[in-house]
Amino acid sequence: MTLPLPRYSRITGTGSFLPSRRVTNAQLAEELAQRGVETSDEWIVARTGIHARHFAAPEVTASDLGFEAAKHALEAAGRSAADIDLIIVATSTPDMIFPSSACLIQQKLGVHGCPAFDLQAVCSGFVYALTVADSMIRTGAASKALVIGAEVFSRILDFNDRTTCVLFGDGAGAVVLEASDQPGLLASELHADGRHVGILCTPGTVAGGKVLGDPLLKMDGQAVFKLAVGVLEDVARSVLAKAGRQDADIDWLIPHQANIRIMQGTAKKLKLPLEKLIVTVDEHGNTSAASIPLALDHAVRTGRIKQGDTVMLEGVGGGFTWGAVLLDF
Ligand code: UT7
């Protein structure tokens, strides 16, 4: 007898984790001043909306942060690690070249056997990972997935470059995504345009036992800003149309937390009041693939996002990559 395939996947638990060292703009400005790099709390707040970020201690890795977030998500879902049959980790700052951070987290969770892999789509990574997990659940390849975004961007920041080092932070977020006969994820869409590889990149690599090229993050902020504003509106509208929903059906918008101006601009274009915009960029900075699950978990735990709410998640970042997921929580 063939069992019917699950028609949907649904988030059943969220979790997140931030390293304990919180660095305010003023503290960062003071540290940078010692290197002769000039910035200020006023500039950072006015241009980005960021007030503080968290930095991991040198010995703490993305898999350490992802493991903690995963434990919280499992607890919220009422599941144990042994129930999980798929682990996907979205990260651009993995612990090692290989094995994947997903395999390291699987080992930390004390489970063995289920597929575990990393997915690299920079700041769109979580939306990509959620879409892949949803597809695997719908085809019956998995039934209970851990989808994690975990980053230690502090490792790849150039603290002599004030145009980038004030923007990013470390952290992790996770969800448990389960097969369900109720939606769940309603629609999603992913995109990439490799013509723009150079506007946001960490171009270094390892070869012959040496780091070749520059292993620190480079960004043409204005080029990224312009592209992000355009694609975030388009992809949200496309995903709404696929799901047969309207702008007004969105209860909560969680865009990638990179810059409050891009986020508010997107909300306005979708005619959403700013109260429906979940904002954590002020306290977390840009945590790349971790930013969306961190913001989701924060909104759930502070009682804003409730069961049944319709939530739009939107990622955008290096590659150039972008995508959106619309879901009923
Ligand atoms: O995670 C992937 C997605 N990433 C993003 O979405 C990032 C998108 N881009 C942005 O968020 C913005 O472009 C930035 C926040 C990166 C920059 O904001 P901006 O309003 O585009 O500033 P700008 O690059 O035009 O720079 C304005 C001025 C420049 O000085 P001059 O040339 O006008 O004299 C910069 O040198 O601000 C200066 N500046 C700073 N001043 C103090 C740049 N960084 C700093 C700084 N502190 N940290």
Same fold? 8-180, 185-328: yes
Report the atom number in ligand 1 closest to the C-alpha of 262.
6
Amino acid identity of residue 40, one-letter, is S
- Phi/psi for 281 (5° steps) reads -60, -30
Model confidence pLDDT, tens digit, residues 145-155: 999 999 999 99
pLDDT of residue 6: 72
* pLDDT in 10s for each residue of the chain, 329 residues: 566 777 899 999 999 999 999 999 999 999 999 999 999 999 999 999 999 999 999 999 999 999 999 999 999 999 999 999 999 999 999 999 999 999 999 999 999 999 999 999 999 999 999 999 999 999 999 999 999 999 999 999 999 999 999 999 999 999 999 999 999 999 999 999 999 999 999 999 999 999 999 999 999 999 999 999 999 999 999 999 999 999 999 999 999 999 999 999 999 999 999 999 999 999 999 999 999 999 999 999 999 999 999 999 999 999 999 999 999 99
Q: List, by residue number, the catalytic residues.
A: 123, 256, 286
pLDDT of residue 7: 86
Report the atom number in ligand 1 closest to the C-alpha of 48.
15
- As to burial, measured by CB atoms within 10 angstroms (0-12 exposed, 13-18 middle, 19+ buried), residue 319 is buried
* Distance between first and last Cα of the chain: 32
Q: How far is CA 227 from CA 199, 239, 257, in A?
A: 10, 18, 15
- Phi/psi for 183 (5° steps) reads -75, 140
Model confidence pLDDT, tens digit, residues 126-172: 999 999 999 999 999 999 999 999 999 999 999 999 999 999 999 99
Region of 127 on the Ramachandran plot (φ > 0 left; ψ -120 to 50 alpha; else beta): alpha
CA 63 to ligand 1 center in whole angstroms: 30
pTM, whole model, 2 decimals? Answer: 0.97
Question: Where do the domains of the chain lie?
Answer: 8-180, 185-328
- Ligand 1 probe mutation, 37, 47, 263, most atoms within 8 A of CB: 47
pLDDT of residue 5: 73
188, 129 Cβ separation under 8 angstroms: no
The CATH architecture one would assign to domain 8-180 is 3-Layer(aba) Sandwich (3.40)
Q: From atom 5 of ligand 1, which residue's Cα is the shortest distance away?
A: 258
Q: From atom 30 of ligand 1, which residue's Cα is the shortest distance away?
A: 163
Report the atom number in ligand 1 closest to the C-alpha of 318.
2
The CATH architecture one would assign to domain 185-328 is 3-Layer(aba) Sandwich (3.40)
CA 72 to ligand 1 center in whole angstroms: 35
pLDDT of residue 309: 98
CA 313 to ligand 1 center in whole angstroms: 25
Q: Which residues pair with 179 in a beta bridge?
A: 9
**Measuring from each residue's beta carbon to the nearest atom of ligand 1, which residues come in under 6 Å?**
39, 43, 47-48, 123, 162-163, 166, 200, 221-222, 224-225, 228, 258-259, 262, 286, 316-317
pLDDT of residue 3: 63
